[in-house]
């Protein structure tokens, strides 16, 4: 078993101890995976995505996290409880009707018990960005709000930012002709009064309303540019890439390190395999697979880039490429599938 609360060795001295995790989106582009599981609870390298972020926050000295939930809100609490298992306080702010990113931040902040700036994470970004570096940057610039930024080749699907030095001059959410390729990478630090100024009890987009409004009113917004590994896990292919990149070491995650140290999983054939899985000698496990707890893979099966969830059975002679196999799904013999969803 993974020892969730064991730390990789950090203590907080920054005075930034609170975080909000935005986990209320519908995950539309991930259907059918998100029909019963909200996007942030989908597994990446065998661990619900939110858990990667919670452990990352803890390692940067965060002591309390509010999960801002809406779609399938009831799925989070049975798994994370009060957070004790992870050595961090976890609370839940449920939106009956989704309030948008800004509305969710305002709503969740009412459950924060500590003073000081608040870290906010989009619930779907895997990154190697240094949260401690970002916190130090926020404080050294005396920023009102600071944004983690990265560079992409095509910024149209993101929030593009214009910088002057490291001060943000404009914020442009999803446009046909973005002015730069420097984008909002989905992690912010807000001084508390700037959260309290967001209107309560209505839909607010932090990207379309709050950031442009703050810039218009002369608030000091700074951009912390970090070009290390970054991925929005919002599509099935991205979700598979996230697992593949953790296995190859292209991406880093504290939770993944702890999982490997726990001995419950091992790396074999460039795949992450639960030690309880039974893999027949004649099975061909190629690279980039996650093979979950108690999975059975029969002889002659061929797997490449697949996510095989707990208890699934892969029968003889199947050839599966870049596909998702649901928990306890029995894949019939000789099934051939590419980029498919089996048992969802």
The site for ligand GDD (CB under 6 A) is made up of 22-25, 68-70, 95, 98-101, 104, 122-125, 158-159, 173, 183-184, 186, 207, 232, 234
Closer to ligand GDD by Cβ: residue 224 or 306:
224
Q: Strand 221-225 relative to strand 64-69: parallel, antiparallel, unpaired?
A: unpaired
Count how many residues are written for the chain.
344
Partner whose binding site includes residue 125, from ligand GDD, Mg ion, none (CB under 5 to 8 Å by kind): ligand GDD
**Residue 257 has which token pair?**
């390190």
Closest separation between CB of residue 24 and ligand GDD, Å? 2
**Distance between CA atoms of residues 241 and 145, nearest Å:** 31
Partner whose binding site includes residue 323, from Mg ion, ligand GDD, none (CB under 5 to 8 Å by kind): none
Closest separation between CB of residue 343 and ligand GDD, Å? 24
Q: Is 51 in the site for Mg ion (CB under 5 A)?
A: no
**Residue 246 has which token pair?**
């953790």
Closest separation between CB of residue 321 and Mg ion, Å? 25
**Distance between CA atoms of residues 315 and 47, nearest Å:** 25
Chain-centroid distance of CA 243 in Å reads: 12
Q: Which residues pair with 68 in a beta bridge?
A: 22, 93
**Distance between CA atoms of residues 190 and 206, nearest Å:** 11
Closest separation between CB of residue 99 and ligand GDD, Å? 5
Closer to ligand GDD by Cβ: residue 23 or 272:
23
Give burial (CB, 10 Å; 0-12/13-18/19+) of 1.
exposed
**Distance between CA atoms of residues 179 and 202, nearest Å:** 30
What's the Cα-to-Cα distance from 196 to each of 17, 97, 109, 204, rounded to whole Å?
A: 17, 20, 8, 13
Closer to Mg ion by Cβ: residue 117 or 159:
159
Give the footprint of Mg ion on residues 76-135 (CB under 5 A). 124
173-191 exposure pattern, b = at least 16 Cβ within 10 A, e = fewer: beeeebeeebbbbbbbbbb
Closer to ligand GDD by Cβ: residue 61 or 123:
123
**Distance between CA atoms of residues 148 and 9, nearest Å:** 24
- Torsions phi, psi for 296 (to 5 deg): -120, 125
Partner whose binding site includes residue 104, from Mg ion, ligand GDD, none (CB under 5 to 8 Å by kind): ligand GDD
Closest separation between CB of residue 332 and ligand GDD, Å? 35
Closer to Mg ion by Cβ: residue 23 or 297:
23
Closer to ligand GDD by Cβ: residue 173 or 310:
173
Q: Which residue is nearest to ligand GDD (CB)?
A: 24
Partner whose binding site includes residue 2, from ligand GDD, Mg ion, none (CB under 5 to 8 Å by kind): none
Closest separation between CB of residue 194 and ligand GDD, Å? 16
Closest separation between CB of residue 22 and ligand GDD, Å? 4
**Distance between CA atoms of residues 163 and 222, nearest Å:** 8
What's the Cα-to-Cα distance from 193 to each of 109, 117, 256, rounded to whole Å?
A: 11, 9, 35
Closest separation between CB of residue 259 and Mg ion, Å? 24
Among residues 17, 89, 209, 232, the one that binds Mg ion under rule CB under 5 A: 232
Q: Is 234 in the site for Mg ion (CB under 5 A)?
A: yes
Partner whose binding site includes residue 183, from ligand GDD, Mg ion, none (CB under 5 to 8 Å by kind): ligand GDD
Binding footprint of Mg ion on the chain (CB under 5 A): 124, 232, 234
């Amino acid at each position: 078993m993974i020892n969730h609360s064991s730390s990789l060795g950090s203590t907080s001295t920054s005075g930034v101890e609170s975080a909000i995790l935005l986990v209320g989106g519908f995950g539309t582009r991930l259907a059918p995976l998100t029909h019963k599981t909200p996007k942030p609870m989908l597994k990446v390298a065998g661990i619900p995505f939110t858990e990667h972020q919670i452990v990352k926050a803890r390692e940067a000295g965060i002591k309390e996290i509010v999960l801002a939930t809406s779609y399938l809100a009831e799925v989070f609490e049975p798994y994370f409880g009060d957070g004790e298992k992870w050595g961090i306080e976890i609370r839940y702010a449920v939106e009956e009707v989704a309030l948008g990113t800004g509305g969710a931040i305002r709503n969740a902040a009412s459950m924060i018990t500590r003073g000081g700036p608040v870290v906010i994470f989009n619930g779907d970004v895997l990154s190697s960005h240094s949260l401690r570096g970002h916190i130090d940057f926020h404080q050294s610039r005396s920023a009102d709000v600071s944004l983690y930024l990265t560079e992409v080749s095509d910024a149209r699907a993101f929030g593009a930012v214009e910088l002057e030095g490291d001060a943000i001059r404009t914020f442009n959410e999803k446009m046909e002709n973005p002015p730069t390729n420097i984008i909002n990478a989905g992690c912010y630090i807000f001084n508390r009064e700037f959260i309290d100024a967001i209107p309560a009890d209505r839909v607010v987009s932090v990207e379309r309303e709050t950031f442009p409004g703050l810039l218009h009113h002369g608030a000091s917004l700074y951009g912390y540019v970090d070009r290390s590994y970054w991925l929005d896990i919002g599509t099935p292919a991205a979700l598979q890439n996230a697992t593949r990149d953790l296995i190859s070491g292209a991406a880093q995650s504290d939770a993944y390190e702890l999982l490997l140290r726990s001995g419950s999983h091992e790396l074999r054939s460039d795949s992450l395999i639960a030690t309880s899985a039974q893999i027949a000698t004649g099975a061909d496990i190629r690279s980039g697979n996650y093979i979950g707890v108690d999975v059975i893979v029969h002889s002659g099966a061929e797997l490449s880039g697949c996510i095989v969830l707990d208890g699934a059975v892969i029968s003889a002679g199947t050839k599966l490429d870049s596909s998702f196999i649901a928990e306890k799904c029995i894949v019939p013999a000789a099934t051939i599938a590419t980029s498919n969803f089996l048992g969802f």
